[in-house]
Structure 1
Amino acid sequence: MADGSDFSLYLAARWPDLVAGLEEEGVAPDAARLAVAQVLLASRRSWARRTRDEDVDVTLWAELRERTGLPTRPREAAPHGVRPADPTDPPEPWLERAEQARGLRRRRRARLGVAWLAGVAVLVAGWAWWAGRPPPREVRQEANPFPVVWYAEGQLHLEDVVVELPGVEAFVAWGPGAAAVLRSGEVVRVDADGDVHDLDRAPRTLDEPPDAPPYLPLGEYDVLVQSAPVPGGGWAHLLDSSRRAGQQDEVRQSETGRRALVLCTAGGACAAPRTILEADGSIRLR
């Protein structure tokens, strides 16, 4: 680095004494050389200002002592005449190592900065998701009076809980809970405790409900609205006595007539119809 600049002249003249001064204080030779190279490299850009405004022998020596962990000695100048110049121990290789170490630190800081920004982005995205998520579904504990899952007035009734779930197009019992298609097109799973989760794929029974056995003992004005399998065997049949032309009824439309539930065993033996008092005429079994 013999370019004739004031920095190069100082480096050539003071390198041996700065290194030797640290070694005499107990700093290892390689650590002393790297410390001197790092401090001088950091000072090169502002060298003209520092030599104009400071006594660089004092300030550089203080920085070197601090960098190598030596006790501070205010206003002490770097030692002189400790060691003559040694052509076999030039500063250039150590300046190159100091430059490489500085580049490594800068890259590490850049990576940390990117990681920090990525972390902030994740937090922002998480907050946006949290703030934009729909309010939690209202769930209340309530024993189901029927042995099947049913839906009425925007509420899905499971075995032990009732879940507020507006806009259900179709549903089916699924394990201890249920699966449902919403009018928005979403497919969701409703756990037995009322938790609602998105589903990537609907169970087959939601799209292709099993064929129910015929229910024969219909009254003159009774209409079979829907049927659903009962867990453990048998079927539940939903009857409506409000109209004769029941096959033309819209199942989702609230009715004013009497609706009743009939439970039949797997062998076909059916109990007497039980009038449904727990819901209006919009009750559905699927």
Structure 2
Amino acid sequence: MTERSDFAAYVDARWPDLVGGLEDEGVAGDRARLAVAEALLGARRSWERRVREEQVDVTLWAEVRERAGLAARPGEPVPHAVRPRDPRDGPEEWLERAGRTRAARRRRGAQRALVGLAVLAVLAAGWSWWAGRPDPPAVREEANPLPVHWYAEDELHLQDVVVELPGLEAFVADFTDDTAVVARLRSGEVVRVDAEGELQPVDEAPPALDTVPIPPPVRGIGPYDALVESVPLAGGGWAHLVDSARRAGAEDDLRQSETGRRAVVVCPTEWTCEEPVTVVADGTVRLR
């Protein structure tokens, strides 16, 4: 070593004994040299303090042995005169190699730390999203008395459940699964409500959600019944919401009568309609 210091003098003097002591314990030559070099580099920055406060021959030998995979043997000093000094087998090359190894280890540690931070950030964002999600809507089991899905009093009535869903702007039957609906909420979010009442986000609203259907003439209602709303059925035909107290036509269609009888009439074809089914609910009733 070219530097003039107590550390450099120690390394020059004790290198053969440190390496030779490990080799005598059965450690392979290259492994022994790298273990000694790594231990010396680890001690270099604090060398002056260690010389003042420790028996470096004892503590360093314990560290060298541990790096080589041997038991530390506390209190045992570096063996003396186990190898003659060989100018062709100096510490310089191995100290450089140990330095590169330590640098690579630090880079890997930094990369792992960055990956860990990224993972923590993703987990934190996921937890924040999860914690910030609105509570799922209340769902209760209740058989639907009507032959179609309907909405009234902030509740969506599906085939077997009723979902509490305030702020529902519009909904249509999911014709891929007639037990579910696709709905737009007042927030602008489009969701699918399945047969169990669970909500899943929908990336793209179906065209039917924004299309007002044009039904055929309704032949299954009486002369004093007013047509409120119509929806197509998955299996063909139409369902019509009618009110027997309506008289004034389109301007009155969105007003609910307090005395009238509301009912749903299912017409499988333009010429055939089933018996009306009375709607028992307060406030506005909607089929879409």
Task: Tell me whether 41-50 or 239-248 shows the greater mean CA deviation.
Answer: 239-248
Q: Distance in 2 between matches of 1:181 and 1:250?
A: 22
TM-score, normalised by the number of residues in structure 2: 0.92
Give the structure 2 partner of residue 214 of structure 1.
217
Q: Which amino acid aligns with 1:14?
A: R
Question: Matched residue of 1:135: which SS?
Answer: coil
Instruction: Note closer, same or farther for the CA distance 1:101–1:249 as it changes in structure 2 (3 Å cut).
Output: farther
Q: Distance in 2 between matches of 1:74 and 1:220?
A: 106
Q: Which amino acid aligns with 2:155?
A: Q
**C-alpha contact 2:263 2:277 (8 A) present in aligned 1:** yes
Instruction: Note closer, same or farther for the CA distance 1:112–1:71 as it changes in structure 2 (3 Å cut).
Output: same
Q: Distance in 1 between matches of 2:276 and 2:153?
A: 22
Give the structure 2 partner of residue 19 of structure 1.
19
Measured after TM superposition, the shift of residue 224 of structure 1 is: 0.5
Give the structure 2 partner of residue 118 of structure 1.
118
Give the structure 1 partner of residue 234 of structure 2.
231
Q: Distance in 1 between matches of 2:58 and 2:36?
A: 14
Give the structure 2 partner of residue 285 of structure 1.
287
Q: Distance in 1 between matches of 2:62 and 2:273?
A: 99
Q: Distance in 2 between matches of 1:99 and 1:151?
A: 73
1:191 aligns with 2:194: yes
**C-alpha contact 1:148 1:231 (8 A) present in aligned 2:** no
Q: List 4+ stretches of structure 1 deviating above 3 A.
A: 216-221
Give the structure 1 partner of residue 136 of structure 2.
136
Q: Which amino acid aligns with 1:282?
A: T
Q: Distance in 2 between matches of 1:250 and 1:262?
A: 16
Q: Which amino acid aligns with 2:186?
A: R
Q: Distance in 2 between matches of 1:97 and 1:7?
A: 18
* CA RMSD of superposed structures (Å): 1.8
Q: Which amino acid aligns with 2:232?
A: P
Instruction: Note closer, same or farther for the CA distance 1:217–1:84 as it changes in structure 2 (3 Å cut).
Output: closer
Number of residues of Structure 1 aligned to a counterpart in Structure 2: 284
Q: Distance in 1 between matches of 2:244 and 2:165?
A: 27
TM-score, normalised by the number of residues in structure 1: 0.92
Q: Distance in 2 between matches of 1:272 and 1:115?
A: 66
Q: Distance in 2 between matches of 1:77 and 1:261?
A: 98
Give the structure 1 partner of residue 265 of structure 2.
262
Q: Distance in 2 between matches of 1:273 and 1:264?
A: 10
Question: Matched residue of 2:30: which SS?
Answer: helix
Q: Distance in 2 between matches of 1:79 and 1:96?
A: 24
**C-alpha contact 1:255 1:282 (8 A) present in aligned 2:** no
Q: Which amino acid aligns with 2:278?
A: T
Q: Which deviations, in whole Å up to 9, do the C-alpha atoms of 1:207-247 show, x marking residues without a partner?
A: 12442111145444321000112332221111113332230
Q: 5+ residue gaps in structure 2? A: none
Task: Tell me whether 265-274 or 30-39 shows the greater mean CA deviation.
Answer: 265-274
